[in-house]
Structure 1
Amino acid sequence: MSKKLSRTEMLMTLGFLFMLVCAVGSFFVGYRVGSDRTTANFETQKQLASKPVTTGTFQQQDLVSFYHTIFMPYREFQNEWLSAMERANTKQTSDLPTEFKRLSTLAQQKFKEISSVSTQQATLIEQSQQQLLKSLASFQSVSKRLSGKSDNTSISQLMAALKQDQDFKAGVSKSLQGQQSYYEAMLKWSATIDADIPSAIKMPSSLTITEWKKMPLVVKNKLSADLVASAGKVVSYYPQDLTSRIDEFIGTGQANKLNMRLVGPIAELLADTKAVRSGDFQNSMGRLYTNQLLPQLPFFLREAE
């Protein structure tokens, strides 16, 4: 015989069923939320993993690649520019506008060549590339403008106009900055190999010979790039050529004879007297430098031309 549930028992039964339904519902809601969060986290991690990682570091191969694909193509234009200016200054050309037209075309070609090269973002390598591209653009602009001058314009008038031209000044400035950035990149790379080498340094206003002599070669080269830049002229030699001439000037006792104690004035004297030439470093590296850390770039190798 069935027994009716009392009012209290019925309420307890209904309460139990209600709690059971809530528990089951909470389980599925929690499972869904957890699943969604897991999926969201997975998608986030996947997106982060797919994004390129940009760093400020690079390998020696980056320096070598930059040398062949950017720095030397730019130097090819620079050497042509310097040769043309030398011919103009020594009156070895009678048609300077045609020279400027040729240089304008060459600058445009080198700009296209260098701009097609991909470099790692947010590094000194990319910074140098952009500076050299801006230099080429400026040289191309001034060359194109001066190539349109009339035949009645003398060479001396064209050269005077060139020296006052803002594009010319910008071209020189960006060229020197691009070189500085490249040599700073070499320094930063060297610092990852040797902890005693600073990752960054700038030419102080009063660097003594004693301080200079204690510095690693790669540091001297960066400071020489600063010295070349401070002179404000595009030159045919490299910073390491200036470094070797400074070291020779000190090592042979010439600095003592002239009572010179600071490196800056020595560099100015060597530059003003045209005592620095391209290739000076390679001619003296066997005598002056042994066991020095340098990236394996062709112009640091003794057999390179």
Structure 2
Amino acid sequence: MEKRLNRSDLIFSLAFILMLIIAVGAFFYGVRVGTDRVEAKYAAAETPESSATPQPNAYQQQDLVSFYHTVFLPYREFQNDWLKAQDKWLSDPTADRAASMKDLAKSAQHKYDAIKKVQVSSISQQLKDSQTNYLKSLKLFNESFSKLAASANQGTGQLVLDKVNADSYYKNGLTYFLSAQKQYFGSMLKWAESIDPNITGDYENSETLTISKWKTLPLVVKMKVASDYLSSQTQLVDFLPHDLTARVDQFIVSGQADKRKIISFNAIAELLMSTGAVRSGDFISMKSRYYENEQLPQLPFFFSDN
């Protein structure tokens, strides 16, 4: 005779089946979670580090400003002292040029020591290269002045300057300085590219930049062109690339380019420099006339006379 299950047996059987269902479900859930974790681990391992941790943007305005105060300005102070010394040697026959040259050598070493301590981020490669070239320039100027100081009181001031300009250490130091300046202004162009997609950060001047083309360029590109031009001239001047830029624009706007039938930037720049028509501070004096709406990094030499 078939035995019927009593109530307790039925409850026990149902409970057993329920526990079995829960155990099986937990097993498959655990397998799924474990699989997801393993896949996530391998996916993370395959992801490039650069995409996992984005690098900060290079050539930020704060980097340009910091470089101005810690690298550019100390070098500029040395440069101004050297230019003042030249003027004194030419105007005062009794000037103690030997003592002056020794002081300049010490100043070059002092500025070198200060600039060398500055940390410039390697992601801003042009700024890093500019710092390196400023340092090389100061080191070579120091060596040149130290070597020539002993004979600096012999002959005229012009004769001494001719010896300095012919010295290989000095000539190489000048080349490094001009490269450093070019790279600093190149970094400003990189900054401009980061905030304006219409600006090309790698702009290179053609051999013949026509006036019509020059007129279409943003100010920051014009300054880069001017710094490139100055680097090719191997001259130590008291003005900066934006001063030359302003003088070129004034020359064009005044109608002098048309009057003289000059059609290129290089021809205008050569004429202005050969006649001593460019001065430090020209940009500041003309800024409100020509560049009121131009965007520039907040660097002191764009807003006050330095």
Shift of 1:232: 1.1
Please give the secondary structure, in 2, of the residue aligned with 1:248.
Answer: helix
Aligned amino acid, residue 210 of structure 1: S
Indicate the residue corresponding to 2:60 in structure 1.
59
Please give the secondary structure, in 2, of the residue aligned with 1:231.
Answer: coil
**1:120 corresponds to 2:121:** yes
The CA RMSD measured in Å over matched residues stands at 2.5
Number of residues of Structure 1 aligned to a counterpart in Structure 2:
264
Indicate the residue corresponding to 1:12 in structure 2.
none
Percent of residue pairs bearing the same amino acid type: 38
Distance verdict in 2 for CA 1:157–1:249, change over 3 Å: closer
Aligned amino acid, residue 206 of structure 2: P
**1:258 corresponds to 2:260:** yes
TM-score by length of 2: 0.80
Shift of 1:290: 2.4
User: Which of residues 193, 198, 209 in structure 2 aligns to 1:191?
Assistant: 193
Q: Which residues in structure 2 correspond to 1:1-305 (within 5 Å)?
A: 57-122=58-123, 123-149=125-151, 151-152=153-154, 154-301=156-303, 303=304
Indicate the residue corresponding to 1:3 in structure 2.
none
Aligned amino acid, residue 196 of structure 1: N
In 2, Cα distance between equivalents of 1:96 and 1:60: 41
Shift of 1:150: 7.1
Aligned amino acid, residue 293 of structure 1: Q
Aligned amino acid, residue 85 of structure 1: Q
Q: Which runs of 5+ in 2 are unaligned?
A: 1-36
Distance verdict in 2 for CA 1:78–1:54, change over 3 Å: farther
Indicate the residue corresponding to 2:9 in structure 1.
none
Contact kept? 1:128, 1:178, Cα under 8 Å: yes
In 2, Cα distance between equivalents of 1:54 and 1:250: 43
In 1, Cα distance between equivalents of 2:76 and 2:216: 31
Q: Which runs of 5+ in 1 are unaligned?
A: 1-33
In 2, Cα distance between equivalents of 1:103 and 1:181: 25
Contact kept? 1:87, 1:93, Cα under 8 Å: no
Contact kept? 1:183, 1:222, Cα under 8 Å: yes
Shift of 1:149: 2.4
Shift of 1:280: 0.6
TM-score by length of 1: 0.80
Aligned amino acid, residue 88 of structure 1: W
Aligned amino acid, residue 297 of structure 1: L
In 2, Cα distance between equivalents of 1:176 and 1:285: 24
In 2, Cα distance between equivalents of 1:194 and 1:56: 14
